[in-house]
Structure 1
Amino acid sequence: MEIIQLDIVAIRASDTQNNAYVLLLKELRGSRQLPVVIGWCEARSIAIALDGTEENERPLTHDLFKVMTKEHDITVTKIIIHSLKDGIFHSSFFCKSQTHGEIEIDARTSDAIALALRFSCPIFTYEKILDKAGVLVRKNMKYENQKTTEKTVHKKEVKTYGEMKLSELKKLLKKAIESENYEKASKIRDEINKRGNN
């Protein structure tokens, strides 16, 4: 299976869920992005690791993990987002030590990415994941928070995604991507994929 390296593009507050954020991962050699919905704590931990500006009186769990592994000569070498089940990404991180070689450990994607940042290790996914869940983004798009919330858009929509024709969903998906509403795009994509599996 072809493996593709990803980079973090942005973290944005969710328009539809309280205390949820959308983490945008982009393939290094392409224009597809993977929107991953994460919780507030993980978003904060990732943001702290990204800019390193906030000092904590006490270590966060991910920082504690790094200290513990360093004390035992263990390092995290890579992260792989390996599957997508029921709209949830599943990941593993790989640890290496002199005594045990490399081992794979299952983790939530948000935790795996928070660790990747602390260990400066690469984040990967498979081509099949990007094909299924990635959204194609034009190169000239800006990464700014959108003023229009998904709730406002829903008031204008009469049909639910389940009631729409496939052609309508594809048009709506394109509009969601163009307006950088990646959370909405991922929900539409899930409905399209669900129909493809039936």
Structure 2
Amino acid sequence: MSLVKLTIKGISYSQTQNGAYALILNEVDGDRKLPIVIGAFEAQSIAIALEKEIKPPRPLTHDLFKNFADRFDIIVKQVIIHKLVDGVFYSSIICERDKIEEIIDARTSDAIALALRFNAPIFTYKNILDKAGIYLKGNTLDSDIQNVDNDGVLSSPEHYELSEKTTSKDIYFGKSIEELYELLNEAVQNEDYEKAAKIRDEISKKES
């Protein structure tokens, strides 16, 4: 089976389901998107890894794993989303230590959070993308995702907007760059990383 490389398009949230986030993966050499439902903690961890300017005052669980792996010379080479069963995605982390390769089973959200920290590529098999891949129309995602605790796809249609359209709130629009940086530092110190990501987006808009 042929592998398809994926990149992260963004993280979106459900307007109707509290705590439901969708990680949107993008086919590198195509137009299909792979939406995967993840928990709030994993969504924050992935968002922090994407936002290079946000540095948590204490290491998150995935940061701790990265520090542990660095200390013992463990390298994450790649992540493969290798199976889709009953709407749940299964992933493997391909690691290497002392030139010995190991394959470790992981939840897809955890595997991707680690892949970002190791700058490791993310892949899936073509048959999985054929089965679960979708095409986005405009900036909305209407997907069939099943409301489960593990990584999966939603069963009833939910409306998601891509993160770049939803992270900047009107309350930050009139703030100056200096005020936004103060709010950003405050949010990071309070470990409110979702708020910090939204402020960071507004700063990026003003600085561009």
The two structures have a TM-score, normalised by structure 1, of: 0.71
| C-alpha contact 2:83 2:90 (8 A) present in aligned 1 | yes
Q: Deviations over 1:97-128 (max 9, x none)?
A: 116x1100000000000000000010000001
1:113 aligns with 2:112: yes
> 1:20: Cα distance to partner?
1.7
Distance in structure 2 (CA, Å) of the matches to 1:15 and 1:85: 26
- After TM superposition, the structure 1 stretch with the greater mean CA deviation from structure 2, 16-25 or 101-110, is 16-25
**Long gaps (5+) in structure 2:** 147-152, 158-208
The two structures have a TM-score, normalised by structure 2, of: 0.67
> 1:184: Cα distance to partner?
5.6
Distance in structure 1 (CA, Å) of the matches to 2:145 and 2:7: 21
> 1:189: Cα distance to partner?
9.4
Partner in structure 2 of residue 60 of structure 1? 60
> 1:188: Cα distance to partner?
5.8
Paired residues for 1:40-189 under 5 Å? 40-98=40-98, 101-137=100-136, 141=138, 143=139, 179-182=140-143, 187=154
| C-alpha contact 1:22 1:183 (8 A) present in aligned 2 | no
Partner in structure 2 of residue 29 of structure 1? 29
The one-letter code of the counterpart of 1:23 is L
| C-alpha contact 1:46 1:113 (8 A) present in aligned 2 | yes
Q: Deviations over 1:3-37 (max 9, x none)?
A: 00000001011234311200000110001110000
The one-letter code of the counterpart of 1:116 is A
**Long gaps (5+) in structure 1:** 144-178, 191-198
Distance in structure 2 (CA, Å) of the matches to 1:66 and 1:17: 32
Q: For this pair of structures, how many residues does the alignment match?
A: 151
| C-alpha contact 2:37 2:154 (8 A) present in aligned 1 | no
